[in-house]
């Protein structure tokens, strides 16, 4: 609502003399109306009950985790039990036992494998009855003798290639779980011992074209960064047999990555190979 203050003031000034009282009343009315109009433009006063709730930040739900929980692995097309065991650094026999697999350890795409031992549930024995008379313990009998695992002397290792060692073994460094031997692209890569080829392919990251040979129940050997693989999975190879041709690494350097593992754990090949 708007008012022309100048016009109202002029009308009040035009009143005849002696009309001071009427002039004062008119001016007072003007001030009251102006005060009312000014108050109508103010923001309404809020009470505590009408105040909107504080804008609290709604926590963002975390992204869903991997489909396969920790300690498990979902088999992909082209996987083999030996390849998975090699990549995870676990004895293949342990994975087979935990998942109820029997030789020849067939697995299929989409299958979920357990990669750790199931936790054993400890059931405490019942307390002895007071009425049962304690019997003397029988004399301790020695445990039956078991056949020890094959020792290093059981296998007569040989060098897979002839060349200079450019990187030695370091059990604390996953990138140095074997040795790297320099050479020329196309050099013959030979089996360091007789055995069965259990992996032949390029599905393991960081190894290029890789061959894994099983020599007995405890030992496996691997030959990585090959240019050409000359054997297939299931082939029986003899010590010194040419199984591949040396290739290049991602940096273009020709060399062979050679590993030996006992019960799934890398060991220093230099300690097993003959002295040159």
Kindly report, residue by residue over 98-155, the tens digit of the pLDDT.
999 999 999 999 999 999 998 744 555 556 554 445 555 655 555 554 444 444 548 9
Q: Are strands 236-237 and 219-229 parallel, antiparallel or unpaired?
A: unpaired
Q: Which of 203, 110, 86, 196 is nearest to 94 (CA)?
A: 86
Q: Which residues of the chain have pLDDT under 50?
A: 1-3, 32, 34-67, 120-121, 130-132, 145-151, 153
Predicted local distance difference test score (pLDDT) of residue 33: 54
DSSP 185: T
CA distance 261 to 234: 19
Angle at 150 between CA 239 and CA 220, to 5 degrees: 50
CA distance 221 to 273: 12
pTM above 0.85, yes or no: no
Predicted local distance difference test score (pLDDT) of residue 276: 82
Q: Which of 214, 268, 240 is nearest to 82 (CA)?
A: 214
Beta strands in the chain (DSSP E): 72-74, 112-114, 165-167, 179-182, 188-190, 195-201, 209-214, 219-229, 236-237, 242-248, 254-262, 265-267
Predicted local distance difference test score (pLDDT) of residue 119: 74
Predicted local distance difference test score (pLDDT) of residue 202: 94
């Amino acid at each position: 609502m708007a008012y022309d203050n100048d016009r109202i003031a002029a009308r009040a000034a035009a009143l005849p003399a002696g009309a001071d009282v009427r002039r004062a009343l008119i001016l007072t009315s003007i001030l009251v109306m102006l005060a009312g109009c000014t108050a109508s433009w103010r923001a309404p006063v809020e009470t505590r009950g009408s105040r909107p709730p504080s804008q609290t930040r709604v926590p963002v739900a975390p992204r869903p985790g991997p489909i396969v929980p920790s300690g498990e692995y979902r088999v992909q097309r082209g996987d083999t039990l030996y390849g998975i065991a090699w990549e995870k650094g676990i004895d293949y026999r342990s994975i087979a036992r935990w998942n109820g697999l029997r030789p020849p350890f067939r697995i299929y795409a989409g299958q979920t494998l357990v990669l750790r031992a199931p936790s054993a549930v400890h059931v405490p024995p019942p307390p002895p009855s007071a009425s049962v008379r304690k019997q003397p313990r029988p004399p301790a009998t020695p445990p039956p003798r078991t056949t020890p695992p094959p020792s290093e002397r059981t296998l007569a290792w040989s060098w897979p290639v002839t060349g200079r060692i450019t990187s030695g073994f370091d059990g604390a460094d996953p990138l140095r779980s074997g040795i790297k031997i320099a050479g020329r692209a196309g050099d013959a890569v030979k089996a360091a011992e007789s055995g069965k080829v259990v992996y032949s392919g390029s599905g393991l990251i960081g190894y290029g074209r890789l061959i894994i040979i099983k020599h007995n129940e405890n030992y496996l050997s691997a030959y990585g960064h090959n240019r050409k693989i000359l054997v297939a999975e299931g082939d029986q190879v003899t010590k010194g047999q040419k199984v591949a041709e040396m290739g290049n690494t991602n940096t273009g350097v020709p060399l062979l990555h050679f590993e030996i593992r006992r019960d799934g754990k890398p060991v220093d090949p230099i300690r097993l190979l003959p002295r040159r």
